[in-house]
Structure formats: structure tokens, C-alpha cells
Amino acid sequence: MSDPLDTPSGQDGIQTATDPLPEAFEAALAEAEEKAREHWNSYLRAVAETENVRKRAQRDVEAASRYAVERFAGDLLEVRDSLELGLQAGASAEPGRLLEGMEATLRLLNRAFERAGITVLDPAGEPFNPEFHEAMATQPSADQPAGTVLLVVQKGYVLNGRLLRPARVLVAREPDAAPDPAAN
């Protein structure tokens, strides 16, 4: 028996490797190749677009971090200007006017903090909270319950719910027991 690949076309219905493909197969192949080119081009465009979006997002993140404090810095310029005016007035200013200027400057700073989302922690009289307060010492107190903030040594600050600096405080504790006179 002879090898079917060696048989000329038309015998036994088997086509040889050297025979040209029928026109229907050639058309289907051309159509498949065209679709493959279209899909490849679509893929390349999608990859390029994804890369452009990634680069744009990276530039936006860099710009946001570089200029994140721009508005806050602009608000602080007013505070700086007020402080400079106070220093220029210096010793020649009346103490009352100097105090008014300092209060005005503090109001400017508080307004800048408020716009930036910074809140002040001033927990005097509140229960001690280790998440927002740092106990500097405890002090016996008959007036306040144990665990209450008696005195704020240094105010704390929170930025949009995130602690910037804890409030440093003195915390009340139970009063020391009075010495028993019968123990002598």
C-alpha cells in the first residue's frame, strides 16, 4: 500500500501537502488572520491606554503629595504676617495692644487649623484616654474621680481623626490613705 501523502490529489479524496488549499480555506484563513490583526491592534491600544492611565495617576499622586499642604501653607502666611507685625511693633507697643495682636494671631492660627481639619485636644476634666492622652504623672485628688484628667500640661492635636500629638496630662488617682493614728 502506498503512503496517502504521496497520492496525487483527487485519488481517494485525500489532498497532498503540496496541493494548494481550496479557495474556501484560503478565504477563511485570510479572515482569521485579519481578525487576529484587529485583536492584536486592540490589545496594543489597551496596553498603551493602561500605561497612560498608570503614568497619569502616578503624576497625580506625586503632585498631590508635593502640593498637599499648599492651602494650609497659604493660611499660615497670614499668621506669619501677623507675627511679623507684632515683632515690628516690639517694645514701643502698649502691652494691651501687644496682647490683642497675639490673640488675633492665635485666632488666625486656629482658623487655619480648622480649615485643615486639625482639632485641638484639651481634655481637662475628661476621663483619661490612652489613645489620645499621654499621662505625665498621677496626682491624688479628692475632688475628681480616679482616671480623670486634672491638668493639661501640653495640648494634643488630631488631623482628620488621626492623632498628630497626644495631649500631655496629669491624671487623678485615689487620695493617699491617711495615716492611722492607732498604728503608733
> Does pLDDT of 1 surpass 50?
no
Question: Span 107-127, mean pLDDT?
Answer: 93
42: part of which helix (H) or strand (E)? Answer: helix 23-66
Domain spans, the chain: 117-175
Residue written as cell 479572515? 31
Distances (CA, A) of 110 to 20, 48, 56, 71, 87: 87, 48, 36, 14, 20
> In the CATH scheme, what is the homologous superfamily, with its name and number, of domain 117-175?
Head domain of nucleotide exchange factor GrpE (2.30.22.10)
DSSP-derived secondary structure for 76-134 = HHHHHHHHHHHHHHGGGS-HHHHHHHHHHHHHHHHHHHHHHTEEEE--TTSBP-TTTEE
* Banded model confidence at residue 45, pLDDT cuts 50, 70, 90: very high
Of residues 97 and 127, more confidence is placed in 127
Question: Span 74-79, mean pLDDT?
Answer: 89
Question: Span 26-30, mean pLDDT?
Answer: 90
CB 129 within 8 A of CB 117: no
Tell me the per-residue pLDDT of 142-166, one tens digit each, with 9 for 90 and over.
999 999 999 999 999 999 999 999 9
